[in-house]
């Protein structure tokens, strides 16, 4: 989950002198720093349900979305993890 969150947060402009081939995107956490997948998340892309005072319960940022995606994928990979921990 940490790598997935980092990968989703790792999109940047390439440093001076670094050449990104056509169809590639610079990512600081991807091996070789060139990934074919374009940046999938942007700030404000998803609206979380608001509190009664009108504020969001968590920041609507790429960093938060990445943590949420990684947590969901971890749960999807092992939906019984919590039950196993309780039993063990």
Greater pLDDT, 87 or 88: 87
Q: Does residue 81 surpass a pLDDT of 80?
A: no
Q: Which of 13, 7, 44, 41 is nearest to 26 (CA)?
A: 13
**Res. 84 pLDDT band, cuts 50 70 90:** confident
Tokens 């070789």 sit on residue:
32
In the chain, which residue ranges form alpha helices assigned H by DSSP? 2-9, 62-77, 81-87
Looking at residue 83, what is its pLDDT?
A: 80
pLDDT in tens, 9-52: 999 999 999 999 999 999 999 999 999 999 999 999 988 888 89
Which residues make beta-bridge pairs with 25?
35
pLDDT in tens, 66-75: 999 999 998 8
Looking at residue 77, what is its pLDDT?
A: 86
Looking at residue 15, what is its pLDDT?
A: 96
């Amino acid at each position: 989950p940490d790598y997935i969150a980092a990968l989703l947060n790792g999109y940047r402009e390439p440093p001076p002198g670094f050449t990104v081939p056509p169809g590639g995107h610079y990512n600081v956490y991807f091996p070789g720093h060139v990934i074919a997948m374009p940046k999938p998340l942007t700030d404000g892309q998803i609206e979380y349900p608001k509190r009664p005072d009108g504020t969001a319960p968590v920041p609507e940022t790429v960093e938060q979305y990445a943590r949420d995606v990684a947590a969901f994928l971890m749960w999807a990979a092992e939906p019984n993890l919590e039950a196993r921990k309780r039993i063990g």
